[in-house]
Structure 1
Amino acid sequence: MTELKLYDPFPNMQFSDKHCFLCGAHTEPDNRTPVFATWLQDRYKLRDKELLLLDKSITTYGELTIPCCDQCHTQHVIPLEEEIAAASEQGIAGLQALDPRKLFQWIGKMYYGTLITELIKEADPLIMPQNPVSENPKMLGKFREFFKVLQSMRVPMAFSDFLPCSLFMLEVSPTQDELPFEYHDELTTMAFSVKLGPVVLVCTLLDNGIIGKALGKLYRLTQGQQLHPIQVAEFKARVFYAAYIFNVIPEYFERPIKPGDTHITLDTIIDDVTNEVFNPWEMTAYAHMLEEMLKPWDIREKEILADPTKPISFLLDDENNFKPLERYQKLS
């Protein structure tokens, strides 16, 4: 029987290679699980591809592993990975058929695995990061709240009328799509995207669906459409920028456990009385984010803000309707 008790590594900063990332149990050196699952590495030939960490050290997808006890590995991590692998083979229809909680857990595990790798490395960094995560109380508080809901991987859990994240699913047109896999995350804003063949998942991991509602009209316009990769890049820029200006941190509270309970129920509150939910939209800051996402097409801020009142858009026409785009050709 599963113990209905959450693990909290944050008060004692219990991040090391000797504690399971999910339950805190003591682990031996060979008790590890890949942050990016073996099936993902095999399908997209990722094993030897490099990743740059915050302390400027370089690892590979294959080398990036986290401590995980046998029970969590066999009972929770592997079944989740198998479910996602099977669904992703069916394309967007397979992923849409999944319980969104499963996608949240899967994305959350990759994000959190990357995060605790950074926290472990901060104890002995190659180069000390400019803003160490372990020395930022606000960020640690945010990660602590996130880890509560991520433990739904391990502990039977019900969310009371909310999903902790906003999740977007886009389908990519094959016409000018040359990337079978792409991964992008922002540690501090908790925005994440991963491309699995023709499907791109974009997620803001700790917003209780607020960003999803804010961008709901745009997202609905993309549904049933095959997007050009440059349109996907713009959509990602809008989501990542929304996460950047998102200004509140959800808090989660366990309801008291009663005899006979088979799961934990979490309630949530957001302090939107003393804090604005979103900081003001700044055109230049958004243009910087969009420029970063549009790097493969060499589109610079000057072009993005050719009209200072309205940034360039590949998704929407002048009437804010969806703009079909089969091929993109840069004008010289």
Structure 2
Amino acid sequence: MALAETEYAPSQVGSPAAFWTSRVFIYAALIFWAFICLFPIYWTVTTSMKVAVDVTQGHLVPFVDFMPDWKGWRSLGLSPDTIFQTSTVRDEFVKRFMNSVVCSISASALAIIIGSLAAYGLTRFRYQFLWMKNEDISFFFLSQLILPPVVLALPFLVLYKEVGLLDTRIGLILLYTLMVLPIAIWIMRDQFNSIPVELEEAALVDGLSIWGAFFRIVLPIALPGMVAAFILALVLCWNEYFFAALLTSADAKTLPVMVASQTGSQGINWWAMAALATAAITPLALIGILLERYLIKGMTAGAVK
């Protein structure tokens, strides 16, 4: 049986010239936008390999405008010629890096656990607290993001001083969890709303408990959303500066505080700051690349029913 050829009207397909013109325009716009997004990273990486003269004169292209140098990395004890030598600055960097890793991962994981449970309850059960119902409670959580951090500065400073949490990792973890919890609840709420309730009802009929249906049926389906929420929370915690500078002094300082402290009597050490910024950006970039498919699935889940 011969297959009939499908004919399209010229108005549907358009001329080849118009087609290629539109494609060229689209790709040109995408390339331009990628350049805008990636140029700050390129600037930071190249600045970490410049000397003072190259920084002030704005040289951009390595081996053309300037010869790369390890000055920024050498000032941190992270250059190839100093990496195996004793360096107090490198020890300080490693300490701040580990503080950021521990605080960010712990706070993000805790926020995802609490946020997933809260979001599941808001999507599967009906609540009423005074005049607030499920939708009002969900909006209340999201509205906490509107509150400026400076409003909480003095209360948290006094509270942490009284309970002994100043300059501690635990103090930052609890505060970061509170900071990213609304985002985790909101993302996971959309995730659970996109999962048909009939799947859990069938699991209950088969003998599973509510917790069994949650862990064995719902969570595996919502995993991409959980990864997306975790990455977003991790980025926010990793880059947080205000509370890290306010509530820490020596032991629990994080990388953003160390990056901002690269100033001296002669001004800002741009090469050292750029090297620190590059070291701080690299872990997040690797996480984004490795977990890209989960991030895309999680952020688009629920968009199409």
Greater RCO, 1 or 2 (C-alpha within 8 Å, sep 6+): 2
- Choose between structure 1 and 2: higher helix proportion: 2
- Choose between structure 1 and 2: higher strand proportion: 1
Shorter-normalised TM-score: what interval?
Answer: under 0.3
Larger Rg: 2
TM-score, scaled relative to structure 1 = 0.24
